[in-house]
Amino acid sequence: MSEFYGPIRQAHIAAVLASGSLFLLRAALAQVGRERWALAPPPRYLSYAIDTTLLTAAVLLLAILPPAAYANGWLAAKLALLPVYIGFGWFAIRAQGRGLRLTFFAGAALAYGSMFSIARTHDPLGPLQGWFANV
């Protein structure tokens, strides 16, 4: 199964970028008063398809990688941020009031960026690892 690691990893990365891009588009639409477009069936169903691909690839990678590859807690940190990202993202599109939507968007973007950084560094501190490297 390890011979499929490369293609599965690439599919996972592509799905991460597609998911974040689609969220950015939908949140921007909601921010400028086009909630109906952001919540219309085509972008919603595309989001479901992308996120299903993303999670499927993640589970396959988890099955392929040896447990030592994520023993330091980076995967747990990433998984802990996932419901935060989903929740903030949900409210960023559906909350009443532009300021509230913007606040939730900022939270979702911060969670997404943190998950991305954690995945890139394989460190549970992600973007903060440089600050705590010598502690």
Note the pLDDT tens digit of each residue in 24-41.
Answer: 999 999 999 898 999 999
Q: Tell me if 32 is assigned to some domain.
A: yes
Cβ pair 25, 43 in contact under 8 A = yes
Cβ pair 22, 14 in contact under 8 A = no
Number of domains in the chain: 1
DSSP assignment letter at 108: H
pLDDT score, position 133: 62
Q: What does the pLDDT look like over 85-118, one tens digit per residue?
A: 999 999 999 999 899 999 999 999 999 999 999 9
Q: Tell me if 58 is assigned to some domain.
A: yes
Q: Tell me if 133 is assigned to some domain.
A: no
Q: Tell me if 121 is assigned to some domain.
A: yes
Residue 33, Ramachandran bin (φ over 0: left; ψ between -120 and 50: alpha; else beta): left
Q: Tell me if 99 is assigned to some domain.
A: yes
User: Structural domain of residue 99, as residue ranges?
Assistant: 2-128
The pTM of the full predicted model, rounded to 2 decimals, is 0.85
